[in-house]
Structure formats: structure tokens, C-alpha cells
């Protein structure tokens, strides 16, 4: 019996039991649709996290005081005073893989403008910080290197701060606000970045020259961190190495001494985030895959019923010359067709489900390989769960089968 005829027989068998075939397909449809939707949500979230992180700049490198966490009692890194302005200056003079460097000192507290006040964070930076974190100014200008040199009492404010302190839609540029009683003249308002993927308001900040913050606000001589950006994303690793060398030399750390600073790249963070998302995706997909297993068992059940029901047909086919192989192929093809048809419908449902998810603003993206994988899995289910019923049919005794009541 050639394939075309087998195909016709299987098609007829499925078609003559439309409702039953559909019910057994339903398991596969739901399973595949679930896998597709889970994968697309997983993939979509991963992409959206990546996008969020790369919006912050993918080539950012952060240097913090204190060693990496490796056991033992550690002090709060913010209380450590190992990063100095000298480190910043050394980096500035020796850098080759790094484009921008900005030392950072931070403080948080109340910002006040007249009767309005808001709780916010103050970042002491250089103008290069704007490049590193990809900030843009909506109104006004960035403070200048000159302002940094002169410890000028100027600042840039985020949109949230602007909205809180100037609720009546006044233009904040040129106005003076107070942070911890230090008056700062607003030279520009930052373009909004919105919330990041961790749910933090990125616009609730004030940026001022780091010299101003260090000397006038905090009166401290050490830095909380140094932000740099690598020339390109690919050079991040080289840049991290370079920074490590510069700082170790500057901190006079000998051969095997532990670093008294930590360098983190955005790239690294992104990988951590991605792998977290991957884990979640895998868990979701495995859960969905179990429904495919159940669906396979459903198909096996239906095929066993079908074989029993058609015992006489099997007996007849055998008595007119069908071999066991012909019979088993016939039933195997039928179960494969059920599962593949179910799989295709499942893809369709999954696609529609994905559309529905994105309608509700869930980030989605169907990876191509997930389509191929679910197709392969369906075929496999058809073969695996069709095999036993097909063997049962093929091993029937034609004498008994033909007289089966």
C-alpha cells in the first residue's frame, strides 16, 4: 500500500469521526497553543528587559567601592571610602577603551521650591554622565565643565521633580530650588525616561556637578561610584580589564590581594536578567509541555478505541492480503495526522492568543524555533502514542478479527 492511499484511508477515518477526532486533537491544540503563548511571553519579556537595559546604555561600566561578595563580614559599600577623585583622574588620563567617565556621589533628601517639596535623590556627576546614561535635556542646557571646576550651585532636574516642585506648569529653568538647604539654580529639565523594568521612577532625580555635591552638600572626599562607558559594547570586557589594572595600580594592590572595588558592566547585568527570564520561560514551557503529554495519552486512548471499533475492517484487510506492516502504517499515519493537524491548529490558536496577549500590553514575540519544535513534538507524539495501538492492530489474528462482533 503506497503512502498516498494510506493517507487517503487515514483522512477518511478521521473525517468519518469528525467530532471524536477533533476532541482528541483538542488536547494537542491546547498544549501547542500554551507552549507557543508561554514561549512568546517569555521571549517577549526577555526582549523588553533587554530593550530597557540597552536604553540605559549597554556599554555602561560601574565601579563601586568594596570587594565582591565572597563570604566573611562585609561593610556596606556606600560606607567604604576606597574610591577617590584621584582614581577618577587616573582613569581619565590613562583610558584607552573608555569614552566617558563620570565620578558619582549621591545623596537623598528633600528638594524644596517655595511651598512645594519632594523626596528625591541628588547625583553629583560630570556632564559626561549625560552621555553614559543617555540622558537628554528637554528644556535648558546641561551644566558645563566650568561649573564642575567652580563647584557651581547649578542642577538638572528630572521630570518628576519638575512636576512636584513646579506644579502649576511654570518653567523651572532659571529658578532656584533647595536641596538640604543648599540653593541650586535649575539649568535644565531632563527628558523623561519613565519607569524602568524594575518599577523604579527614573525621572525622580537631581543631577548636579559632583564637586558641588561633594563640597557643598555632603562635605566628603570619597566617591560613591564611578560610571564609565566603553567605546563600544564589544570593548566592554577590555575596558573592564583596563579599569581593573588602573585601579589596582593606583590602590597599590600587590599580586594576589583582593580588589577593594567592584566593576560591573551593564552587559553582565543584562545576561543575569536574561538568564532569569530564561529560567522562568523554561518553567512555563515545561508546564505547558505536560499538557502535550496528556494530549498524547488522549490520542492513544482514541486510537485504541478506533482499532477495537474497526477490528472487522482490520480482519478483512488482512484476509485480502494486508500485511501487519500495512495495518500498523495505516493506524500510525492516522495518529500522526491527528497530532499534526492538532499541532497546526494549536499554532494558529497560539498565534491568536499571542495577539490577544499583546492587546493587553504583555510583551510577546514568537520565536521561529518554537514553531518548528512544536511541529516536531507533535509528529513525535503521533508516532510514540500511535505506535502501541498500531501494533495492537497489526498483531490481530485475521480469523478472530473478521468474526469480531
What is the contact surface with another protein in residues (CB under 8 A)? 1-2, 5, 12, 16, 312-313, 315-324, 326, 398-399, 402
- Nearest approach in angstroms of CB 9 to another protein is 9
Q: Could you tell me the three cell numbers for 316?
A: 478483512
Mode of pairing for the β-strands spanning 116-125 and 205-209: parallel
Contacts for 247-256: CB closer than 8 Å, 24+ residues apart = 247/63, 247/87, 247/90, 247/91, 249/90, 250/86, 250/87, 250/90, 251/82, 251/87
Quote the CA–CA distance of 388 and 377 in Å, as a whole number: 18
Quote the CA–CA distance of 337 and 115 in Å, as a whole number: 74
- Nearest approach in angstroms of CB 390 to another protein is 16
Residues 374, 279, 372: CA angle, nearest 5 degrees: 15
SS3 230: strand
- Nearest approach in angstroms of CB 405 to another protein is 9
Q: Residue 253 or residue 402: which is nearer to another protein going by CB?
A: 402
Quote the CA–CA distance of 201 and 205 in Å, as a whole number: 9
Q: Residue 232 or residue 319: which is nearer to another protein going by CB?
A: 319
Q: Residue 316 or residue 373: which is nearer to another protein going by CB?
A: 316
Residues 340 and 375 sit within 8 Å (Cβ to Cβ):
yes
Q: Residue 192 or residue 311: which is nearer to another protein going by CB?
A: 311
Residue with cell 490520542: 299
E strands, 114-175, where? 116-125, 137-140, 154-157
- Nearest approach in angstroms of CB 391 to another protein is 14
The distance between the two most distant Cα atoms of the chain, rounded to a whole number of Å, is 105
Q: Could you tell me the three cell numbers for 242?
A: 583596563
Q: Residue 139 or residue 326: which is nearer to another protein going by CB?
A: 326
Element (H, E) at 103: strand 98-113
- Nearest approach in angstroms of CB 16 to another protein is 6
Q: Residue 150 or residue 403: which is nearer to another protein going by CB?
A: 403
- Nearest approach in angstroms of CB 18 to another protein is 12
- Nearest approach in angstroms of CB 338 to another protein is 19
Q: Residue 51 or residue 323: which is nearer to another protein going by CB?
A: 323
Residues 139, 144, 145: CA angle, nearest 5 degrees: 160
Amino acid at each position: 500500500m503506497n503512502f498516498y492511499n494510506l493517507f487517503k484511508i487515514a483522512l477518511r477515518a478521521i473525517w468519518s469521526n469528525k467530532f471524536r477526532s477533533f476532541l482528541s486533537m483538542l488536547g494537542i491544540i491546547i498544549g501547542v497553543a500554551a507552549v507557543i503563548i508561554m514561549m512568546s511571553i517569555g521571549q517577549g519579556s526577555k526582549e523588553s528587559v533587554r530593550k530597557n537595559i540597552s536604553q540605559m546604555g549597554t556599554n555602561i561600566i560601574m565601579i563601586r567601592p568594596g570587594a565582591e561578595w565572597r563570604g566573611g563580614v562585609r561593610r556596606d559599600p556606600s560606607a567604604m571610602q576606597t574610591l577617590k577623585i584621584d582614581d577618577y583622574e587616573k582613569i581619565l588620563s590613562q583610558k584607552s577603551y573608555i569614552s566617558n567617565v563620570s565620578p558619582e556621589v549621591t545623596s537623598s533628601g528633600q528638594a524644596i521650591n517655595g511651598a512645594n517639596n519632594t523626596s528625591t535623590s541628588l547625583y553629583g556627576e560630570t556632564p559626561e554622565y549625560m552621555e553614559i546614561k543617555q540622558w537628554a535635556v528637554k528644556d535648558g542646557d546641561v551644566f558645563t565643565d566650568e561649573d564642575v571646576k567652580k563647584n557651581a550651585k547649578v542642577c538638572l532636574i528630572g521630570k518628576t521633580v519638575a512636576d512636584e516642585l513646579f506644579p502649576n506648569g511654570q518653567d523651572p529653568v532659571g529658578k532656584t530650588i533647595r536641596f538640604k538647604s543648599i540653593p541650586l539654580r535649575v539649568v535644565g529639565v531632563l527628558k523623561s525616561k519613565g519607569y524602568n523594568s524594575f518599577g523604579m521612577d527614573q525621572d525622580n532625580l537631581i543631577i548636579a556637578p559632583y564637586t558641588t555635591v561633594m563640597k557643598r552638600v555632603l562635605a566628603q572626599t570619597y566617591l560613591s561610584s564611578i560610571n564609565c562607558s566603553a567605546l563600544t559594547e564589544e570593548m566592554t570586557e577590555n575596558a573592564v580589564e583596563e579599569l581593573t589594572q588602573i585601579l589596582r595600580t593606583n590602590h597599590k594592590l600587590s599580586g594576589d590581594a583582593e580588589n577593594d572595588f567592584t566593576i560591573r558592566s551593564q552587559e553582565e547585568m543584562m545576561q543575569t536578567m536574561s538568564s532569569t527570564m530564561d529560567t522562568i520561560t523554561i518553567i512555563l514551557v515545561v508546564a505547558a509541555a505536560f499538557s502535550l503529554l496528556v494530549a498524547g495519552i488522549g490520542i492513544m486512548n482514541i486510537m485504541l478505541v478506533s482499532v477495537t471499533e474497526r477490528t472487522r475492517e482490520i480482519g478483512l484487510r488482512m484476509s485480502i492480503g494486508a500485511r501487519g506492516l500495512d495495518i500498523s502504517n495505516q493506524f500510525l499515519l492516522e495518529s500522526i495526522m491527528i497530532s499534526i493537524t492538532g499541532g497546526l491548529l494549536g499554532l494558529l490558536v497560539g498565534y491568536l492568543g499571542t495577539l490577544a496577549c499583546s492587546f493587553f500590553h504583555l510583551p510577546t514575540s514568537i520565536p521561529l524555533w518554537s514553531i518548528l519544535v512544536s511541529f516536531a513534538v507533535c509528529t513525535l507524539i503521533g508516532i510514540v502514542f500511535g505506535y502501541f495501538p498500531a501494533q495492537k492492530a497489526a498483531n490481530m489474528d485475521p480469523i478472530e478479527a473478521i468474526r469480531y462482533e
